[in-house]
Homo-oligomer: A and B are copies of this chain.
Protein backbone atom coordinates (compact mmCIF):
# COMPACT_ATOMS: atom_id res chain seq x y z
CA UNK A 1 0.00 0.00 0.00
CA UNK A 2 1.22 3.46 -0.94
CA UNK A 3 1.50 5.87 1.93
CA UNK A 4 -0.13 9.22 1.23
CA UNK A 5 3.20 10.91 0.71
CA UNK A 6 4.99 10.07 -2.48
CA UNK A 7 6.26 12.14 -5.34
CA UNK A 8 2.82 11.94 -6.80
CA UNK A 9 1.10 13.51 -3.82
CA UNK A 10 3.70 16.26 -3.69
CA UNK A 11 3.10 16.99 -7.35
CA UNK A 12 -0.62 17.14 -6.95
CA UNK A 13 -0.29 19.43 -3.98
CA UNK A 14 1.84 21.72 -6.05
CA UNK A 15 -0.72 21.75 -8.79
CA UNK A 16 -3.35 22.87 -6.32
CA UNK A 17 -0.99 25.44 -4.89
CA UNK A 18 -0.34 26.78 -8.35
CA UNK A 19 -4.04 26.95 -8.93
CA UNK A 20 -4.45 29.09 -5.84
CA UNK A 21 -2.23 31.67 -7.48
CA UNK A 22 -3.43 31.58 -11.03
CA UNK A 23 -6.99 30.85 -12.13
CA UNK A 24 -5.79 28.31 -14.65
CA UNK A 25 -2.74 26.17 -15.23
CA UNK A 26 -1.64 24.44 -18.39
CA UNK A 27 -0.54 20.88 -18.60
CA UNK A 28 2.49 21.75 -20.68
CA UNK A 29 3.67 24.44 -18.28
CA UNK A 30 3.20 22.20 -15.28
CA UNK A 31 5.07 19.36 -16.93
CA UNK A 32 8.03 21.62 -17.52
CA UNK A 33 7.87 23.14 -14.07
CA UNK A 34 7.61 19.76 -12.38
CA UNK A 35 10.10 18.05 -14.62
CA UNK A 36 7.74 15.29 -15.66
CA UNK A 37 5.95 14.36 -18.83
CA UNK A 38 2.69 15.92 -19.87
CA UNK A 39 1.06 12.54 -19.60
CA UNK A 40 1.88 12.37 -15.93
CA UNK A 41 0.48 15.80 -15.32
CA UNK A 42 -2.62 14.89 -17.23
CA UNK A 43 -3.07 11.82 -15.04
CA UNK A 44 -2.65 13.93 -11.94
CA UNK A 45 -5.26 16.35 -13.13
CA UNK A 46 -7.63 13.54 -13.93
CA UNK A 47 -7.24 12.19 -10.44
CA UNK A 48 -7.71 15.56 -8.80
CA UNK A 49 -10.78 16.11 -10.92
CA UNK A 50 -12.28 12.85 -9.75
CA UNK A 51 -11.71 14.04 -6.20
CA UNK A 52 -13.43 17.28 -7.09
CA UNK A 53 -10.40 19.36 -6.20
CA UNK A 54 -9.84 20.88 -9.63
CA UNK A 55 -11.71 21.10 -12.89
CA UNK A 56 -10.14 19.68 -15.97
CA UNK A 57 -9.95 21.95 -18.98
CA UNK A 58 -8.66 21.50 -22.47
CA UNK A 59 -4.92 21.76 -21.99
CA UNK A 60 -4.87 22.15 -18.25
CA UNK A 61 -6.97 22.65 -15.16
CA UNK A 62 -8.79 25.35 -13.29
CA UNK A 63 -9.52 25.69 -9.59
CA UNK A 64 -12.82 25.33 -7.87
CA UNK A 65 -14.76 28.44 -7.19
CA UNK A 66 -13.99 29.12 -3.57
CA UNK A 67 -15.97 31.07 -1.03
CA UNK A 68 -18.61 28.53 -0.19
CA UNK A 69 -18.73 26.15 2.71
CA UNK A 70 -16.56 23.12 1.97
CA UNK A 71 -19.30 20.56 2.50
CA UNK A 72 -21.68 22.51 0.39
CA UNK A 73 -19.05 23.12 -2.25
CA UNK A 74 -18.23 19.43 -2.47
CA UNK A 75 -21.77 18.58 -3.19
CA UNK A 76 -21.77 21.28 -5.80
CA UNK A 77 -18.89 19.64 -7.61
CA UNK A 78 -20.37 16.21 -7.56
CA UNK A 79 -22.26 16.42 -10.78
CA UNK A 80 -21.78 19.78 -12.39
CA UNK A 81 -22.74 18.81 -15.89
CA UNK A 82 -25.94 17.09 -14.79
CA UNK A 83 -26.98 19.99 -12.61
CA UNK A 84 -26.27 22.52 -15.30
CA UNK A 85 -28.48 20.66 -17.68
CA UNK A 86 -31.25 20.52 -15.11
CA UNK A 87 -30.79 24.17 -14.26
CA UNK A 88 -31.08 25.39 -17.80
CA UNK A 89 -34.08 23.24 -18.55
CA UNK A 90 -35.78 24.57 -15.42
CA UNK A 91 -35.06 28.18 -16.29
CA UNK A 92 -37.20 27.77 -19.37
CA UNK A 93 -40.23 27.25 -17.14
CA UNK A 94 -39.97 30.68 -15.55
CA UNK A 95 -41.81 33.59 -17.10
CA UNK A 96 -40.75 37.21 -16.73
CA UNK A 97 -42.36 38.80 -13.70
CA UNK A 98 -43.05 35.52 -11.93
CA UNK A 99 -42.92 35.20 -8.18
CA UNK A 100 -40.60 32.24 -7.67
CA UNK A 101 -40.10 30.24 -4.50
CA UNK A 102 -36.80 28.39 -4.37
CA UNK A 103 -35.84 25.80 -1.82
CA UNK A 104 -32.36 25.71 -0.28
CA UNK A 105 -30.04 23.11 -1.75
CA UNK A 106 -27.18 22.62 -4.14
CA UNK A 107 -29.31 21.71 -7.15
CA UNK A 108 -31.61 24.64 -6.58
CA UNK A 109 -28.64 26.96 -6.02
CA UNK A 110 -27.35 25.99 -9.42
CA UNK A 111 -30.74 26.69 -10.85
CA UNK A 112 -30.73 30.10 -9.16
CA UNK A 113 -27.43 30.95 -10.80
CA UNK A 114 -28.79 29.99 -14.17
CA UNK A 115 -31.91 32.05 -13.58
CA UNK A 116 -29.84 35.04 -12.50
CA UNK A 117 -27.60 34.68 -15.53
CA UNK A 118 -30.58 34.75 -17.84
CA UNK A 119 -31.55 38.12 -16.42
CA UNK A 120 -35.26 37.44 -16.49
CA UNK A 121 -36.82 39.86 -14.01
CA UNK A 122 -38.47 37.89 -11.19
CA UNK A 123 -39.29 38.08 -7.52
CA UNK A 124 -37.60 35.36 -5.54
CA UNK A 125 -38.55 33.96 -2.14
CA UNK A 126 -36.05 31.55 -0.66
CA UNK A 127 -34.67 30.03 2.51
CA UNK A 128 -31.24 29.35 1.00
CA UNK A 129 -28.27 31.68 1.28
CA UNK A 130 -26.61 30.39 -1.85
CA UNK A 131 -29.83 30.87 -3.75
CA UNK A 132 -30.21 34.46 -2.56
CA UNK A 133 -26.56 35.15 -3.23
CA UNK A 134 -26.94 34.17 -6.85
CA UNK A 135 -29.08 37.20 -7.53
CA UNK A 136 -26.50 39.91 -7.30
CA UNK A 137 -28.28 42.43 -9.44
CA UNK A 138 -30.72 44.08 -7.09
CA UNK A 139 -32.00 46.24 -9.91
CA UNK A 140 -33.34 43.22 -11.79
CA UNK A 141 -34.42 40.93 -9.00
CA UNK A 142 -36.32 41.31 -5.78
CA UNK A 143 -35.11 38.65 -3.41
CA UNK A 144 -36.98 37.95 -0.21
CA UNK A 145 -35.26 35.74 2.31
CA UNK A 146 -37.19 33.74 4.90
CA UNK A 147 -36.53 33.97 8.60
CA UNK A 148 -35.61 30.87 10.54
CA UNK A 149 -32.93 28.94 12.29
CA UNK A 150 -29.68 28.83 10.38
CA UNK A 151 -28.35 25.37 9.57
CA UNK A 152 -24.75 25.59 8.43
CA UNK A 153 -24.72 22.25 6.70
CA UNK A 154 -27.55 23.31 4.44
CA UNK A 155 -26.56 26.97 4.17
CA UNK A 156 -30.13 27.97 4.77
CA UNK A 157 -32.80 28.63 7.36
CA UNK A 158 -35.42 26.23 8.64
CA UNK A 159 -38.04 25.82 11.30
CA UNK A 160 -41.47 27.07 12.18
CA UNK A 161 -40.53 30.70 11.55
CA UNK A 162 -39.59 29.81 8.01
CA UNK A 163 -42.81 28.01 7.29
CA UNK A 164 -45.16 30.52 8.81
CA UNK A 165 -43.38 33.26 6.88
CA UNK A 166 -43.83 31.41 3.62
CA UNK A 167 -47.53 30.99 4.35
CA UNK A 168 -47.95 34.73 3.95
CA UNK A 169 -47.00 34.67 0.28
CA UNK A 170 -48.33 33.23 -2.89
CA UNK A 171 -46.04 32.28 -5.74
CA UNK A 172 -46.48 31.57 -9.43
CA UNK A 173 -43.96 28.80 -9.34
CA UNK A 174 -41.98 26.84 -6.76
CA UNK A 175 -38.76 24.91 -7.29
CA UNK A 176 -37.68 22.33 -4.75
CA UNK A 177 -34.96 19.73 -4.55
CA UNK A 178 -34.97 16.37 -2.76
CA UNK A 179 -32.64 13.60 -1.63
CA UNK A 180 -34.63 10.93 -3.40
CA UNK A 181 -37.57 10.23 -5.65
CA UNK A 182 -39.78 7.16 -5.31
CA UNK A 183 -43.21 6.02 -6.48
CA UNK A 184 -44.65 7.63 -3.39
CA UNK A 185 -43.05 10.96 -4.14
CA UNK A 186 -39.87 12.90 -3.35
CA UNK A 187 -38.12 11.87 -0.12
CA UNK A 188 -35.88 13.80 2.25
CA UNK A 189 -33.41 13.16 5.04
CA UNK A 190 -34.15 16.26 7.06
CA UNK A 191 -37.57 16.67 8.61
CA UNK A 192 -37.20 20.42 8.89
CA UNK A 193 -36.29 20.70 5.23
CA UNK A 194 -39.34 18.62 4.41
CA UNK A 195 -41.64 21.04 6.14
CA UNK A 196 -40.24 23.98 4.23
CA UNK A 197 -40.59 22.20 0.89
CA UNK A 198 -44.17 21.25 1.68
CA UNK A 199 -45.03 24.80 2.56
CA UNK A 200 -43.55 26.13 -0.66
CA UNK A 201 -45.48 23.57 -2.68
CA UNK A 202 -48.68 24.54 -0.90
CA UNK A 203 -48.22 28.19 -1.78
CA UNK A 204 -47.39 27.94 -5.48
CA UNK A 205 -49.44 27.52 -8.58
CA UNK A 206 -46.83 25.46 -10.42
CA UNK A 207 -44.79 23.04 -8.32
CA UNK A 208 -41.55 21.78 -9.81
CA UNK A 209 -39.08 19.22 -8.53
CA UNK A 210 -35.46 19.50 -9.66
CA UNK A 211 -33.61 16.23 -9.26
CA UNK A 212 -30.81 14.28 -10.88
CA UNK A 213 -31.36 10.71 -11.93
CA UNK A 214 -28.93 9.27 -9.40
CA UNK A 215 -31.64 9.91 -6.83
CA UNK A 216 -34.35 7.98 -8.65
CA UNK A 217 -35.84 5.22 -6.50
CA UNK A 218 -33.93 6.41 -3.44
CA UNK A 219 -36.02 6.16 -0.31
CA UNK A 220 -35.14 8.41 2.61
CA UNK A 221 -36.52 9.09 6.04
CA UNK A 222 -39.54 11.14 5.07
CA UNK A 223 -41.77 11.54 2.04
CA UNK A 224 -42.15 15.21 1.14
CA UNK A 225 -45.47 14.83 -0.65
CA UNK A 226 -47.32 12.47 -2.97
CA UNK A 227 -46.38 12.67 -6.64
CA UNK A 228 -49.75 14.17 -7.49
CA UNK A 229 -48.80 17.38 -5.71
CA UNK A 230 -46.05 18.09 -8.24
CA UNK A 231 -46.90 19.68 -11.53
CA UNK A 232 -43.50 19.16 -13.18
CA UNK A 233 -40.23 17.32 -12.70
CA UNK A 234 -36.95 18.39 -14.28
CA UNK A 235 -34.22 15.75 -14.35
CA UNK A 236 -31.24 14.79 -16.43
CA UNK A 237 -32.54 11.40 -17.44
CA UNK A 238 -35.89 9.89 -18.24
CA UNK A 239 -37.22 7.72 -15.41
CA UNK A 240 -38.11 4.11 -16.14
CA UNK A 241 -40.39 1.40 -14.80
CA UNK A 242 -43.01 2.08 -12.17
CA UNK A 243 -41.71 5.56 -11.52
CA UNK A 244 -42.42 6.61 -15.09
CA UNK A 245 -45.88 5.10 -14.92
CA UNK A 246 -46.75 6.81 -11.68
CA UNK A 247 -45.58 10.14 -13.01
CA UNK A 248 -47.89 10.04 -15.98
CA UNK A 249 -50.70 8.61 -13.85
CA UNK A 250 -50.44 11.61 -11.59
CA UNK A 251 -50.25 14.12 -14.42
CA UNK A 252 -46.69 15.22 -13.71
CA UNK A 253 -45.00 16.78 -16.73
CA UNK A 254 -41.47 15.58 -17.20
CA UNK A 255 -38.69 17.80 -18.57
CA UNK A 256 -35.33 16.33 -19.48
CA UNK A 257 -32.30 18.59 -19.40
CA UNK A 258 -29.58 16.57 -21.06
CA UNK A 259 -26.26 18.36 -21.49
CA UNK A 260 -27.29 21.24 -23.66
CA UNK A 261 -30.51 20.10 -25.25
CA UNK A 262 -33.87 20.25 -23.57
CA UNK A 263 -36.68 17.83 -24.23
CA UNK A 264 -40.15 17.81 -22.75
CA UNK A 265 -42.61 14.96 -22.55
CA UNK A 266 -46.17 15.77 -21.63
CA UNK A 267 -48.30 12.88 -20.36
Residues of A within 8 A of B (CB): 17-18, 20-24, 26, 33, 55, 57-60, 62-69, 80, 84, 87, 110, 113-114, 116-119, 129, 132-133, 135-138, 142-153, 155, 157, 161, 165, 260
Nearest CB of B to A55, in Å: 5
Are the C-beta atoms of A150 and B165 separated by less than 8 Å?
no
Are B117 and A84 in contact, with the CB atoms below 8 A?
no
B residues in contact with A24, CB < 8 Å: 24, 55, 57, 62
* A20 pairs with B144, CB closer than 8 A: no
| Shortest Cβ distance from residue A45 to the other chain B in the assembled complex, whole angstroms | 13
Point out which of A69, A118, A138, A142 has the most chain B C-beta atoms below 10 A from its C-beta: A138
In the complex, the answer to whether A65 meets B68 with C-beta atoms within 8 Å is no
Contact B150 A135 (CB under 8 A): yes
Assembled-state Cα–Cα distance A161/B146 (Å): 10
Contacts of A80 in B (CB 8 A): 22
Q: A64-B23, A150-B145 are in contact. Are A18 and B117 (CB under 8 A)?
A: yes
Q: How far is the CB of A23 from chain B (nearest CB, A)?
A: 5
Give bound CA distance, A137 to B260, whole Å: 39
Known contacts A144-B147, A152-B137, A57 near B55 by CB under 8 Å: no
**Chain B residues with CB below 8 A from A153, complex form:** 138
**20 extra interchain contacts, Cβ-Cβ under 8 A, other than A17-B119, A63-B65, A69-B136?**
A17-B117, A18-B117, A21-B113, A22-B84, A24-B55, A57-B62, A66-B67, A67-B68, A69-B133, A129-B132, A132-B150, A133-B155, A137-B152, A138-B150, A143-B149, A144-B148, A144-B149, A145-B149, A146-B147, A147-B147
Q: Is the interface of A mostly helix, strand, loop or mixed?
A: mixed
Closest to A26 in B: B58
CA distance A153 to B142 in the complex (A): 13
**Residues of chain B contacted by A129 (CB below 8 angstroms):** 129, 132-133
Closest to A154 in B: B138
Residue pair A144, B150 in contact (C-beta under 8 Å):
yes
Closest B residue, CB atoms, query A155: B133
Cβ A157 vs Cβ B145 within 8 A? yes
Given A58-B59, A66-B67, A69-B136, the answer on whether A114 and B150 have CB atoms closer than 8 Å is no
- Chain B residue at smallest Cβ distance from A29: B260
Which B residues are CB-close (under 8 A) to A135?
150, 152
A65 touches B23 (CB 8 A): yes
CA distance A133 to B70 in the complex (A): 12
Q: Contacts A17-B117, A17-B118, A62-B23 known; A149 to B142 CB distance under 8 Å?
A: yes
